[in-house]
Structure 1
Amino acid sequence: MHRFIVVGGGAGGLELATRLGDRYGETRAKRGKPRASVTLVDRNPTHIWKPLLHEVAAGSMDPFTQELEYAAQARWHGFEFQQGELVGLDRAAKRITLGAVQDEDGGEMLPERVLEYDTLVLAIGSTTHFFGVQGAAQNSIALDTVAQAERFRKRLIAACMRAEHQEPEPWVHGQQDHEGNEVPRVQVAIVGAGATGVELSAELRNTAQVLSAYGLHKLDPRHDVGIVLIESGPRILPALAERVSSATAELLRKLGVRIMTGERVIEVAPGVIRTASGKSVRADLTVWAAGIKAPSVLSQLDGLPVNKLGQLIVRRTLQTEADDNVFALGDCAACEWPGNERGVPPRAQAAHQQASFLFKSMGERLAGKQLPEFTYRDFGSLVSLGHFSAVGNLMGGLIGGSMLIEGLFARFMYMSLYRLHIAALHGYARMVLDTFAHWLRRTTLPRVKLH
């Protein structure tokens, strides 16, 4: 049998493994001999849709109700799951090496293993790019994993609870800084005003209001909990249309989010951020959301070419330039976008499109036919502002332009993106049941996780 290995259980990788398992894997054994073996590899045992991590960090989503067990998904859809981190590749022998897996106490749970493949698909996503900024990695929190998001949430609640029982410093209470901004008792600084930074800033404003409503602290949720969004470029959401950026900035200011544009961060120290213009920004908690890069392991994989961000350079077929048997998709792949100066953007919709493309392409590969070329279609971008609103441009790649949307309709479209991901993994019937079950859970839980 042909051996497919998909490394990375993010949105694209998990969708691809699920569909390959349904079509070619052990699921077909009930109706006849399976045509291929499908193996999914990930260093974690569970999956969560990465665009949800800002909600986990703000406490508005409990990750344990949204996580999916890879082993269970494999059992339901006819593929095998192997937990472990990719540490090596032997292209001549068509083998990958997975590192040992340790338990919470440091004991070895799974040994180092070698897996053989006929077709390898790399979909290991991206990690936070600190750009070499002094102290950024040590004194700020990234939002790459559930553990990081949970760490930030717990630190935020702890900071608010401490502020309730501590007398404010004389220079803080009712005072203003050198720019005339009122000094809050708790201040969160977010470096990077892309989609993650913007969405987190709005979710945090909602969190501050909910914490006050539940009596965890007596702080004024708007004036005593400050949120600062710092962007090195001239405007927030630089990857989106300017009118989307302007509409979002206006909404954030109404929520009391302080926006600092044109400020390049040069140092993150405990309790303070310093910019190239000489400004110092107080920060009780700092989130780094200023950029992404591919995991460093990709540049060490047996001569596969990468770009300056560490992404694997792939052809239009999504095959790597150096090896026809190795494919890449999602954030870790640098794929050409014809007619555009930049490549396919690192978005969830791109990973979904590439997973659907590769599913069809693998059928052509098994049949010995020529592989098709991938074409990215831009359906627009949406940014959630939590319970307050949403904004975005819709159908940009279909109508030759873009249509600005905001408010309730934009929020509905944004929530639909996640539901489509659930449908891709479980089918539409289970997606509807999951949506209903999620609504039932929300009726018996506070809007923010309080512990």
Structure 2
Amino acid sequence: MHRVVIVGGGAGGLELATKLGDTLGKRRQAHITLVDKCPTHVWKPLLHEVAAGSLDPATNHLEYAAQAHWHNFTFARGELVGLDRSRRSIRLAAVPDEDGGDEPLFPARELEYDTLVLAVGSTTHFFGIAGAEEHAISLDSVWQAERFRRRLLRKCAQKSDGRARGVVSPVKVVIIGAGATGVELAAELKKTAKAFRDFRLHGADERCDIHITLVEAGTRILPALSERVSEATARLLRGLGVDIMTGDSVMEVHGDRVSTRGGATFPADITVWAAGIKGPAVMELLDGLALNRLVQLNVTTSLQSETDPNVFALGDCASCLWEKGRFVPPRAQAAHQQASFMVNAIKCRIRGDALPTFSYRDLGSLVSVGSSGAVGNLMGGLVGRSMLVEGLMARAMYASLYRMHLSTISGYRRMLLDLMAHRLRRFLAPRVKLH
């Protein structure tokens, strides 16, 4: 059978493996293998909720091995560390024993392929800013999001202890980068702060609140979206008490403060870096594949590597031309569209037919602003023109994006059962994780 190996179990990679497994895998027309270094999947756009404690990854994840069993593909756990294009094989590192044992959970090994799909996502781009990588937390993974949440709890406990001794001060969080991740984290943290006060975790005094400063080098927040969306979101954030500083770039990140090129200094108990992305470092180790300056794989309109027609890429790790010199943006909707395209492209490849051409449709963007709802714009492909949406309607549409993702990988029945379970947990547990 034709061997399809998909590296990366994010939104695009998992959707592709599931759809191929349900078709080609079920009919034994191809052998589908999904590779990921983690055993479980959490939708990356929700990592800001994990960081704020409003989403528990232990009850909102999907196990790759179970998904593989249900949808006729194979899951191989391991981290990609090399590619041999002449032999059409990839190398996976050994998976260490999490309890510290000498024997690995899975040994280092090789997997052979006929078609290789890279869907390894992206990692944080620190732009060489002094101290950023050492002192700032990024939100690329569940582990990093949980690391931020634990540090926030620790800082809140320390400030509460100081309040008992008569020292009243908030926990100061500086978020560098006012794209979707930075904006959504800022809004979600304000909801977390209220929950902490309600449960006396940080005292009822709002002076002991979580003080958030959002720093953006551009002239406005959400620079990738329309000015109308940016202004509406800024208005809601300021209403929540978030300080927004634009037009000044970060010069250095210290352990307790952030310095800008304009001479400003922001005290920081915790610093979050959400200012840019690039391809993972492993991309530079992949046997001479052509990359751009952001370490993304250069692909053609069929999503094939410009270097090797047997290698494809989708999602954040792919540099795909869109129109008029613009490239497909690193968004979940792009990964979803590319995964759907790749299902047909791989079927054509197996049959020996010419590959189709990928065409990206921008359906708009939605940004969650915590309890205030959401803000976004719907593009012409959906409503015939660009339209601003905000409030409860936008919030409902934002929530539906995750449900659509779940229905794609699990089916409508499992998605509805998950929704009901989620609603029940809301009644049985606090809305924010308190430990």
TM-score (structure 2 length as normaliser): 0.97
The equivalent residue for 1:422 is 406
Tell me which of 130, 135, 140 is aligned to 2:136.
Answer: 140
Question: Cα deviations across residues 102-126 of structure 1 (Å, max 9, x unaligned)?
Answer: 0221632211101100000000000
Deviation at 1:231, TM superposition (A): 0.4
2:162 aligned with 1:166: yes
SS in structure 1 of the partner of residue 76 of structure 2: strand
Counterpart of 1:157 in structure 2: which amino acid? Answer: L
Residues 240 and 169 of structure 1, relative CA distance in 2, 3 Å threshold: farther
The equivalent residue for 2:259 is 274
Count of residue pairs brought into register by the alignment: 433
1:14-413 maps to which residues of 2 (within 5 A)?
14-25=14-25, 27-28=26-27, 34-104=28-98, 105=100, 107=102, 108-167=104-163, 184-221=169-206, 224-339=209-324, 341-398=325-382, 401-413=385-397
The answer on whether the counterparts of 1:122 and 1:326 sit within 8 Å (CA) in structure 2 is yes
Deviation at 1:155, TM superposition (A): 1.0
Unaligned 5+ segments in structure 2 are none
Deviation at 1:429, TM superposition (A): 1.6
SS in structure 1 of the partner of residue 431 of structure 2: coil
The equivalent residue for 2:5 is 5
SS in structure 1 of the partner of residue 149 of structure 2: helix
Question: Cα deviations across residues 365-388 of structure 1 (Å, max 9, x unaligned)?
Answer: 111100000000000000001222
SS in structure 1 of the partner of residue 228 of structure 2: helix
Question: Cα deviations across residues 318-356 of structure 1 (Å, max 9, x unaligned)?
Answer: 0000111100000000001024x3200000000000000
Deviation at 1:431, TM superposition (A): 1.0
The answer on whether the counterparts of 2:159 and 2:208 sit within 8 Å (CA) in structure 1 is no
The answer on whether the counterparts of 2:198 and 2:204 sit within 8 Å (CA) in structure 1 is no
Q: Distance in 1 between matches of 2:206 and 2:71?
A: 46
The answer on whether the counterparts of 2:202 and 2:208 sit within 8 Å (CA) in structure 1 is no
The answer on whether the counterparts of 1:45 and 1:70 sit within 8 Å (CA) in structure 2 is yes
The answer on whether the counterparts of 1:222 and 1:256 sit within 8 Å (CA) in structure 2 is no
Q: Distance in 1 between matches of 2:187 and 2:135?
A: 22
Counterpart of 2:249 in structure 1: which amino acid? Answer: R
Unaligned 5+ segments in structure 1 are 29-33, 174-183
Counterpart of 2:41 in structure 1: which amino acid? Answer: H
Q: Distance in 2 between matches of 1:222 and 1:23?
A: 57
Q: Distance in 1 between matches of 2:10 and 2:94?
A: 21
Q: Distance in 1 between matches of 2:48 and 2:202?
A: 22
Counterpart of 1:69 in structure 2: which amino acid? Answer: E
The answer on whether the counterparts of 1:378 and 1:398 sit within 8 Å (CA) in structure 2 is no
Counterpart of 2:148 in structure 1: which amino acid? Answer: F
Q: Distance in 2 between matches of 1:349 and 1:267?
A: 34
Q: Distance in 1 between matches of 2:422 and 2:208?
A: 33
TM-score (structure 1 length as normaliser): 0.94
Question: Cα deviations across residues 208-254 of structure 1 (Å, max 9, x unaligned)?
Answer: 00110011121534763210000001000000000100000000000
Q: Distance in 1 between matches of 2:155 and 2:286?
A: 43
The answer on whether the counterparts of 1:205 and 1:221 sit within 8 Å (CA) in structure 2 is no
> How many percent identity over aligned positions?
61
Q: Distance in 1 between matches of 2:165 and 2:124?
A: 34
Deviation at 1:399, TM superposition (A): 5.1
Deviation at 1:316, TM superposition (A): 0.3
Question: Cα deviations across residues 88-141 of structure 1 (Å, max 9, x unaligned)?
Answer: 111111111111110221632211101100000000000011111111111011
The worse-fitting range, judged by mean Cα deviation, of 294-303 and 35-44 is 294-303
The answer on whether the counterparts of 1:127 and 1:294 sit within 8 Å (CA) in structure 2 is yes
Residues 398 and 437 of structure 1, relative CA distance in 2, 3 Å threshold: closer
Counterpart of 1:82 in structure 2: which amino acid? Answer: A
The answer on whether the counterparts of 1:219 and 1:225 sit within 8 Å (CA) in structure 2 is no
Q: Distance in 2 between matches of 1:277 and 1:219?
A: 36
Q: Distance in 1 between matches of 2:117 and 2:85?
A: 13
Question: Cα deviations across residues 404-433 of structure 1 (Å, max 9, x unaligned)?
Answer: 000000001000000000001111121111
Counterpart of 1:314 in structure 2: which amino acid? Answer: V
Deviation at 1:398, TM superposition (A): 4.5
Q: Distance in 2 between matches of 1:224 and 1:447?
A: 18
Q: Distance in 2 between matches of 1:397 and 1:356?
A: 17
The worse-fitting range, judged by mean Cα deviation, of 219-228 and 371-380 is 219-228
After the TM superposition, which segments of 4 or more aligned residues of structure 1 sit over 6 Å from their partners? Answer: none
Q: Distance in 2 between matches of 1:214 and 1:395?
A: 41
Deviation at 1:400, TM superposition (A): 5.9
Q: Distance in 2 between matches of 1:194 and 1:137?
A: 19
Counterpart of 1:143 in structure 2: which amino acid? Answer: L
The answer on whether the counterparts of 1:208 and 1:221 sit within 8 Å (CA) in structure 2 is no
Q: Distance in 2 between matches of 1:358 and 1:332?
A: 15
The answer on whether the counterparts of 1:267 and 1:273 sit within 8 Å (CA) in structure 2 is yes
Question: Cα deviations across residues 33-78 of structure 1 (Å, max 9, x unaligned)?
Answer: x111000000111100000000000000101111111001001101
Q: Distance in 1 between matches of 2:200 and 2:345?
A: 55
CA-atom RMSD in angstroms = 1.5
Residues 35 and 127 of structure 1, relative CA distance in 2, 3 Å threshold: same
Counterpart of 2:215 in structure 1: which amino acid? Answer: I
